[in-house]
Amino acid sequence: MILVGVVEKTVKDIVALKIQGASNVRKRSVEALVEASLASKSKKPDLFRKEFLKNASALFYARPTEPELRTALRIIKRSISSKGMEVEEMKSAIEITAKRYEDSRKDALVRIARYGAELIHSNATVLTICHSRSVIDMLIKAKSKIKKVYCLESRPLYQGRVTAKELSEAGLDVTLIVDNAASSVMKECDYFFSGADALLADGDIVNKIGTAQISMLCAHFDVKHYAVSSTHKFEPASFFGKAEPIEQRAFDEVWEEKARGKVKINNPAFDRTESSSIEGIICELGVFPPQVLASKLFDELELEKHEPEFLQL
């Protein structure tokens, strides 16, 4: 059974970073899965499920560090888990569940922006890293209270340029700086806002490489680091001891093979920031210390009642 074209193309685009940012990866993947499911020619429920799982698995594993995507696909899979469902019933359930999930994400972004904007004090100077939809929406919401934004360029693919451009077009005073210049502006900053590609059981976060060292720098300069993320980024598997993988990107992103010769390259896309370095996590539920939020999500998901297998796709 081969992958449906739209799913295969989406997987390739994710791997090649033509689709980037956790929210975009999740959104485009869900759209591809829904499109493929609705277009399926399978008439038998068992064959339809096999086709669905093959497409969903390809998207699920397209990038290692994407809990938001994994959460969405698990929820959609659960919508067709009841025995006795006919193919048309499953198609309808997939489409409805995907729409509800997308609506919940949109609502989460609105709530996050509001909570974050309320937290920021007047005349604030802010430092950001990489590209986060949640951070961007929050800073735009708080525009009247922000004096200046410094955006780290986020090498080697320069996602910080996307953030800088979007904030500038929204009317904020923005300066792009090279990653290693963070300490040169830290004395001016009141906040460091990062996104989070994963929220973990112990309150740690996984985010764009460089986040951890900037967070430690914040402690030295007495700058508050807030991670801005919906709880859709929470990875429940981390409660069962599963480590969140750190994606290793292509060496040529850093230095082309022809030019570097035999020089070895290490190109991790993400790093892990300890909860002790983070002032709080701004999410759709409010603003919480990292470990408090992790405990809250553990209770809400009733993880003590489950085994690790329930998270498998």
Q: How far apart are CA 175 and CA 128, in angstroms?
A: 11
**Any idea what the Cα angle at residue 276 is, between residues 274 and 278, rounded to 5°?**
80
Q: Which residue has the tokens 């976060």?
A: 205
Q: Check 130, 151, 218, 283 and give the catalytic one.
A: 130
Among 189, 197, 204, 218, the one annotated catalytic: 197
β-pair type (191-194, 224-228)? parallel
* CA atoms in the 13 A half-sphere facing the CB of 167: 36
The two three-digit tokens of residue 279, written as one number: 């002032």
Q: How far apart are CA 149 and CA 129, in angstroms?
A: 11
SS (H, E, C) 102-165: HHHHHHHHHHHHHHHHHHCCCCEEEEEECCCHHHHHHHHHCHHHEEEEEEECCCCCCHHHHHHH
Contacts of range 264-269, beta carbons closer than 8 Å, 24 or more positions apart: 267/156, 268/209, 269/65, 269/208, 269/209
- Integer CA distances (angstroms), 203 to 275, 287, 292, 298, 301, in order: 5, 13, 8, 11, 16
Instruction: Identify whether 197 is a catalytic site residue.
Output: yes
Question: Any idea which residues carry the catalytic annotation?
Answer: 130, 197
